[in-house]
């Protein structure tokens, strides 16, 4: 699973990496730097329209399917499992043609009560596989962009901390993943396996219990530190 991650990125660099034109960056909707974004807050997504243009915009982190009559779903939708995303009614439509990449500085997983921070060993942004959906409360209401992170079984080092992890999109699969003309049901397994070498190369370390929202959250735990009482 993935229920908390760090997001402190250069949006212009992200846009350049994914060939997003300046006119297609919704800068006002993008989140401020955060080291502990949680579900139902704003994250960033890169998505491609049917016209082939790519967009970088903020999105609500918990996918709400277009047909839902409410934003308050009875089950969590911030993650979608790779094994069932194509068949679950909540995610099926998005899997077919509304896929996105969710950039991150790194993410957290827990081993029991101990949090660990995962990131690329060279600290380049992680490209997590995502799904998106447009939703609104009524025909008179504005549309809201919503999204979910696809998770998969953890491999190698990450599996020693938790049995699930975000599915990473390898550069070789990025174009197909974003292309709405490509049926996502045929892509899931291929993208997952292409991303496994990236997953195996992740660096990770234990961090202190997450409190606040600053860069200190990702600092490796120093077991020699004395607890701060005041």
Give the model's pLDDT for residue 130. Answer: 98
Mean pLDDT of 30-42: 97
Average pLDDT, integer, range 48-74: 96
DSSP state of 51: T
pLDDT above 70: percentage of residues in the chain: 97
Q: Which ranges of the chain does DSSP label H, i.e. alpha helix?
A: 11-17, 89-97, 156-159, 174-178, 188-200
Q: Note the pLDDT of residue 230.
A: 39
pLDDT band at 28 (very low <50, low <70, confident <90, very high): very high
Residue 229 has pLDDT above 50, yes or no: no
Place of tokens 């998505």: 47
- pLDDT exceeds cutoff 70 at 224: no
Q: Could you give the CA distance from residue 212 to residue 134 in angstroms, rounded to a whole number?
A: 31
Query: Per-residue pLDDT averaged across 80-93, rounded?
Result: 98
- For residue 225, pLDDT over 80 is answered with no
Q: For residue range 208-221, what is the model confidence (pLDDT) as tens digits? A: 999 999 999 999 99
Burial 97-129 (b: 16+ CB within 10 A, else e): ebbbbbbbbbbbbeeeeebbbbbbeeeebbbbb
Using DSSP bridges, classify how beta strands 202-206 and 126-135 pair: parallel, antiparallel or unpaired. Answer: unpaired
Q: For position 7, what pLDDT does the model report?
A: 97
Would you state the pLDDT for residue 222? 83
Average pLDDT, integer, range 118-140: 95
Q: What is the pLDDT of residues 97-109, one digit of tens each?
A: 999 999 999 999 9
| Ordered structural domains, the chain, with CATH | 5-207 (3.90.1680.10)
Asked whether 94 and 133 are in contact (CB, 8 A), the reply is yes
**Whether the predicted pLDDT of 228 surpasses 90:** no
Element (H, E) at 36: strand 34-37
The answer for residues whose C-beta is within 8 angstroms of residue 158's C-beta and 6 or more apart is: 109, 118, 165, 199, 202, 204
First to last CA, the chain: 34
Q: What is the pTM of this model?
A: 0.95
> Which pLDDT does position 55 carry in this prediction?
98
Q: What is the mean pLDDT of residues 7-24?
A: 97
Label the pairing between strands 114-120 and 5-7.
Answer: unpaired
Q: Band the pLDDT of 2: cuts 50, 70, 90.
A: confident
pLDDT at 96: 97
């Amino acid at each position: 699973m993935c229920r908390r991650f760090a997001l402190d990125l250069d949006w212009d660099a992200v846009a350049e990496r994914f060939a997003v034109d300046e006119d297609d960056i919704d800068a006002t909707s993008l989140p401020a730097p955060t080291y502990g974004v949680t579900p139902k807050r704003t994250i960033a997504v890169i998505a491609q329209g049917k016209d082939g243009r790519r967009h970088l915009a903020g999105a609500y982190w918990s996918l709400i399917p277009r047909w839902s009559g409410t934003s308050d779903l009875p089950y969590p939708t911030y993650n979608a499992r790779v094994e069932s995303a194509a068949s679950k009614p909540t995610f099926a439509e998005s899997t077919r043609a509304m896929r996105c990449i969710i950039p991150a500085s790194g993410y957290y997983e827990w081993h029991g009560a101990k949090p660990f921070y995962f990131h690329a060993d060279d600290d380049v942004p992680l490209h997590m596989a995502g799904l998106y959906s447009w939703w609104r409360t009524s025909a008179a209401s504005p549309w809201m962009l919503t999204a979910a992170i696809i998770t998969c079984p953890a491999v190698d080092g990450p599996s020693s901390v938790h049995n699930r992890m975000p599915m990473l999109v390898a550069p070789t699969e990025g174009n197909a993943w974003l292309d709405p003309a490509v049926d996502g049901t045929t892509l899931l397994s291929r993208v997952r396996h292409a991303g496994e070498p990236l997953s195996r190369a992740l660096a990770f370390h234990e961090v202190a219990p997450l409190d606040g929202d600053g860069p200190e959250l990702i600092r490796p735990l120093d077991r020699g530190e004395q607890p701060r009482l005041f």
